[in-house]
Amino acid sequence: MRLIDTHSHLEWNSLHSKLDRVVQGAKENGLVGILTASVFLETAPVGLAIAKEYENFVFPCLGFAPTEAAKKPATFEPFKQFVLDHQDEMVALGEIGLDYYWIKNKEVLKDVEKKFIELIQLGNKINKPIVIHCRDAEQRVIELVEEYCTHDRVHMHCFSGPTYLIKRALKNGWYFSVPTSVINRKYHQKLAETVPLERMFLETDAPFLSPIKGKKLNEPKNIAVSAVHIANMKNTTPEEVGEITTQNAIDFYSLPL
């Protein structure tokens, strides 16, 4: 069974501090690739360095989280320049988006939304897929991507919105990644039920969203656990879930696998 974790954060210290073991564990559980998404300017070079160290197994996405746009707006322009300087080394721009769960101040939200629009446009300019974060802001994010994105290479990461918005995004040609929390979160189970395998990726969001009870640290190897769970939900085999979602990721991200 071939598997790809399409969204993790290997630059996060809890994983980065034991990266060899994390990568080896992933390979032992059938993974042929991991996408790591930096979310701060400071960690973007770390993501690129990890990808170089584990070439053709780890692939970097460079992102600027909405919470970072709120807390450290001064790093936004340097981040955009970093992306332009390193666009040939990255497979996607993201994660980017909006977050109404953590950001409540209306004036701050206006500025974060403006920056999100600029990032969508940056993705257009460098002709890269975008990876979307939209916690509690699903409808507004979809509206903005529909308005400003000039392509359909849109990856909706860890989506928790209602079914009608999932269907709206699917009509746009976008893809969804089902996180390992599908094991224990009803809204991610609804996501897995709604999204056909042909438009699905698998993700861990590691080191977050562990599917293993009593264990906080999530790792890319746990994709194997969620593949079995999704297979049971879809009345198919883990091998089919793995093969279809892996090929989806290879094609969408143009991975050399």
| Confidence at 216, pLDDT banded by 50, 70, 90 | confident
> What are the tens digits of pLDDT across the range 53-75?
999 999 999 999 999 999 999 99
In this prediction, residue 151 carries a pLDDT of: 96
For the segment 106-119, the average pLDDT, to the nearest whole number, is 97
pLDDT of 213 over the 90 cut: no
End-to-end CA distance of the chain: 14
Is the confidence at residue 212, as pLDDT, over 90? no
- The per-residue pLDDT for 105 is 96
Residues ≥6 apart with Cβ < 8 Å to 88: none
Measured CA to CA in angstroms, residue 7 lies from 59, 70, 82, 184 at distances of 10, 22, 21, 19
Number of domains in the chain: 1
d(CA 228, CA 211): 12
pLDDT in tens, 132-152: 999 999 999 999 999 999 999
How confident is the model over 181-208, as pLDDT tens digits? 999 999 999 999 999 999 999 999 999 9
Q: What is the CATH number of the domain that holds 70?
A: 3.20.20.140
- Which ranges of the chain does DSSP label H, i.e. alpha helix? 13-16, 19-28, 44-53, 66-71, 76-85, 106-126, 138-148, 163-171, 186-194, 223-234, 238-253
* Side chain identity at residue 228, one-letter code: V
How far is the CA of 235 from the CAs of 35, 115, 117, 228, in angstroms?
27, 42, 40, 10
What local confidence, expressed as pLDDT, does residue 215 receive? 83
Amino acid at 166: I
Q: 15-54, pLDDT tens digit by residue? A: 999 999 999 999 999 999 999 999 999 999 999 999 999 9
Q: How confident is the model at residue 164 (pLDDT cuts 50, 70, 90)?
A: very high
Please report, rounded to a whole number, the percentage of residues in the chain having pLDDT higher than 70. 100
Which DSSP symbol is given to 154?
A: E
Residue 125's domain comprises 3-253
What was the pLDDT predicted at 9?
98
Q: The pTM is what?
A: 0.97
| Portion of the chain with pLDDT greater than 90, in percent | 97
